[in-house]
Amino acid sequence: MFSEGNLQRYLEAAVGAAREAGKLQKELLWSDFSISHKGEVDLVTEVDRRCEEMVVARLREATPDFGFLAEENQYQDGSTSHRWVIDPVDGTTNYAHGFPWFCVSIALEVEGSPVLGVIYHVMMDELFTAIRGKGAYLNGKKMQVSQHEPLKGCLLATGFPYDRTWDNENNFNHFCAFHMETRGVRRAGAAALDLAYVAAGRLDGFWECKLKPWDVAAGVLLVAEAGGVVTNYAGEAYSIYDHRVVASNGRIHKDMIGVLARSSGG
């Protein structure tokens, strides 16, 4: 496939793009940027669009033959087997409200699965990176998932889909069940960061439904490379195109699957 040198070069390009977009996000946060609605609840800001343009332009320069799957635009050119999967701002609702918890998420997908991932947590200046088979790193230091178990002493994270008010699969039942069986559940509003935090051992587990490939592609690679486990709600192998994801430190994974099964139906 790729030589190690090539992957390293692609990683550097993705890191450069993420930092560049992050700089703009920091500069414009709390400024008077325009905001529009994609749906009843779902927002998009001028900053999301500008950042996606920047990231795509920089990555196109570095890898002219690769394709793109990104949140704010459709891209017809480039390879479909080798493509960049980009969420220019994960945590858009937070960003639009001036709640400073958001990140840039970039992954390189080859034949359907991520081979490298970069998540840049802008306001903390924390850079999470991974290359498949080579471990996961936070600001250059190797990361490891937590060793916490059992579930009752664990801190988890989740999120809720934008269609939660009119679709029954809204995650409310699972949220209540996990709240009863753990130390706590956080809903910070940026799924990519939740996954990066599982990889860093700051959270012990994460689950969510209806996420898009750009929300999860970099994060699930980070978790796997930090020694964690990522599956669907049935505990089976996970693809970034799946509807439901569970990521954990591995030790609590079976119990998380059990809670999801017992609380299914919402």
Residue numbers at the binding site for ligand IPD (CB under 6 A):
87, 90-93, 159-161, 189-191, 211, 215
**215 is a site residue for Ca ion (CB under 5 A):** yes
Which entry of ligand IPD, Ca ion, none binds 260, CB below 5 to 8 A by partner kind? none
**Range in contact with Ca ion (rule: CB under 5 A) among 21-29, 92-100, 126-134, 243-251:** 92-100
CA distance 58 to 165: 38
Concatenated DSSP letters of 158-217: ----TTTTT-S--SHHHHHHHHHHSSEEE--S-HHHHHHHHHTTSSSEEEEES--HHHHH
**What number of chain residues touch Ca ion (CB under 5 A)?**
6
Q: Which of 194, 243, 201 is nearest to 220 (CA)?
A: 194
Q: Which of 163, 207, 162, 201 is nearest to 185 (CA)?
A: 207
Q: Given the structure tokens 């699969």, which residue do they identify?
A: 169
Tell the smallest beta-carbon distance from residue 87 to Ca ion (Å): 4
CA distance 241 to 152: 30
Give the residue with the Cβ less far from Ca ion, 7 or 89: 89
Neighbouring residues of 189: CB distance < 8 A, sequence distance ≥ 6: 91, 93, 94, 99, 101, 102, 159
Amino acid letter, 234 = A
CA gyration radius for the chain? 17
Give the residue with the Cβ less far from Ca ion, 104 or 257: 104
Which entry of ligand IPD, Ca ion, none binds 67, CB below 5 to 8 A by partner kind? none
Q: Which position's Cβ is nearest Ca ion?
A: 90
- Dig out the tokens for 59 from the structure: 């990555």
Tell the smallest beta-carbon distance from residue 158 to ligand IPD (Å): 8
Name which of residues 218 to 247 contact Ca ion (CB under 5 A): none
**194 is a site residue for Ca ion (CB under 5 A):** no
- Phi, psi angles (nearest 5°) of residue 95: -60, -45
Tell the smallest beta-carbon distance from residue 254 to Ca ion (Å): 28
Give the residue with the Cβ less far from ligand IPD, 189 or 201: 189
**71 is a site residue for Ca ion (CB under 5 A):** yes
- Dig out the tokens for 105 from the structure: 């998420």
Give the residue with the Cβ less far from Ca ion, 102 or 154: 102
**90 is a site residue for Ca ion (CB under 5 A):** yes
Alpha-carbon torsion (54, 59, 65, 71), positive or negative: negative
Give the residue with the Cβ less far from Ca ion, 146 or 171: 171
Tell the smallest beta-carbon distance from residue 6 to ligand IPD (Å): 29
Give the residue with the Cβ less far from Ca ion, 90 or 204: 90
Q: Are 106 and 68 in contact (CB under 8 A)?
A: no
Give the residue with the Cβ less far from Ca ion, 86 or 151: 86
Q: Are 121 and 114 in contact (CB under 8 A)?
A: no
Tell the smallest beta-carbon distance from residue 165 to ligand IPD (Å): 14
Q: Which position's Cβ is nearest ligand IPD?
A: 159
Amino acid letter, 54 = M
Summarize as ranges the residues that interact with Ca ion (CB under 5 A).
71, 87, 89-90, 92, 215
